[in-house]
Chain A
Amino acid sequence: METTWTASKMAPFRQGMQAGVAIAIGYMPIALTFGLLAKTTGLTLAETVLMSVIVFAGASQYIALSLLSVGTGIFEIILTTFILNIRHFLMSASLSEKAEPDELWKKALYAFGITDETFSVAAMKEGTVNASYMFGLIMMAYGSWVVNSGIGYAVGKSLPESLQDSMSVALYAMFIGLLVPALKKQRKTVWLAGLAAVFNSLGTFVFHLSKGWSIVLATLLSAVVVQWLAKEGGNKDE
């Protein structure tokens, strides 16, 4: 019985690590390039790694670099970061519906590792997620992000150009790989993803919203509209 206990205790962590492999691969080119750009922007190696350790948010870190290079004030950089990451509020709220009741400090700890990618993988997992699973998943993603940021800086080189270009699709391909099985199973998910894609395109091209606002508004709007339609449809059946 003891071995069963150990196995079941270990399983979620390892399962999380396995699920994190695709993220680790996908983060590699982005983190390497971040390290490289940080160097050309004039940051030290320590500052570069520290930013990846403390912030752990790809898009905001890139934008911070480009704002620094044009001499934007620090307050504005922090504000831009906040707006870009508001969508994590929605993702964290969604994850709270799926999270097992772990101790609060564990939740507060793994919440640090919620990114578009770790959230998507965790959310598409069958059943619930617990802290062990999240720690395994985040360790892979975070490890890849921090280590590759440092390597990018130290080596001063990214991947060969053609591979770098091809790998820019990796995280999108991962999102597609997570989404398609759900699309095949449930008609509702087609509407959710499709509407959000349309809203995000409108937000980007028609309303010229920033990426941060566009994604969060498109996601929320689609989730609410589809829920409302499902409720109306459900009531008619009653």
Chain B
Amino acid sequence: MNNAIIWMIIGMGLVTYLPRMLPLVLFGRVELSPFWQGVLKNVPYAALGALVIPDIFFIQDDILFGIIGFAAAVIAAWLGANVIIVVLASVAVLSCYSMLI
């Protein structure tokens, strides 16, 4: 194995691990103010919004692809399907779409 690549991997691992580990280990011991506790409880919903939009619309060059996948997932989830069904449904709908074009 190439030494430079190994050092790069170790460095990447370190700078990825530290942000994952430090808050979880340290914040468990300090009491945050209610405001910041509230902010941290808001984070997952905000993060999900930012993780989906706008990136989902650009998963393929054809923007319709993302729009259809988005719509299929939203409809399946809105109807109360569990997460795996939502995933499979949107993949299935897009498979049909790519066969049509």
Interface residues of A (CB under 8 A from B): 19, 21-22, 25-26, 43-44, 46-47, 50-51, 54-57, 60-61, 64, 74-75, 77-79, 81-82, 85-99, 101, 104, 107-108, 111-114, 116, 119-121, 123-124, 162-163, 165-170, 172-182, 184, 188-189, 192-197, 199-201, 204-205, 214-215, 218-220, 222-224, 226-227, 230-231
Contact = CB atoms under 8 A, between A and B. Distances in A.
Nearest to A96: B27
Given A56-B16, A81-B16, A111-B21, A197 B53 contact: yes
A201 B98 CA distance: 27
Contacts of A78: 8, 11-12, 15
B77 A180 contact: yes
A180 B74 contact: yes
A96 B26 CA distance: 9
A80 to B, nearest CB: 9
Contact of B45 (A57, A92, A182): A182
B38 A47 contact: no
Contact of B47 (A61, A90, A104, A113): A90
A81 B15 contact: yes
Please classify how large the interface on chain B is, using the bins under 10, 10 to 19, 20 to 34, 35 or more.
35 or more
Contact of B73 (A81, A107, A169): A169
A113 B13 CA distance: 12
A77 B15 CA distance: 11
Contact of B87 (A92, A108, A124, A170): A170
Given A88-B19, A204-B54, A177 B83 contact: yes
B12 A199 contact: no
Q: 4 closest A-B pairs (Cβ-Cβ)?
A: A193-B49, A177-B86, A123-B44, A180-B77
A20 B23 CA distance: 23
Contact of A168 (B44, B60, B85): B60
B46 A192 contact: yes
A180 B78 contact: yes
B30 to A, nearest CB: 10
Given A89-B23, A92-B20, A93-B27, A218 B12 contact: no
Nearest to B58: A204
Interface in B16-33: 16-17, 19-25, 27-28
Contacts of A22: 83-84, 87
Interface string B71-93: 01110111011111111011110
Contact of B52 (A64, A163, A182, A197): A197
Given A55-B16, A99-B24, A166 B47 contact: no
A165 B94 contact: yes
A94 to B, nearest CB: 4
30 contacts: A19-B83, A22-B83, A47-B1, A51-B12, A54-B9, A54-B10, A54-B12, A54-B13, A64-B12, A81-B15, A89-B22, A90-B47, A95-B23, A96-B24, A96-B27, A111-B20, A119-B44, A119-B47, A123-B44, A166-B91, A172-B55, A172-B70, A175-B51, A176-B52, A177-B84, A179-B52, A197-B50, A215-B50, A215-B51, A226-B42
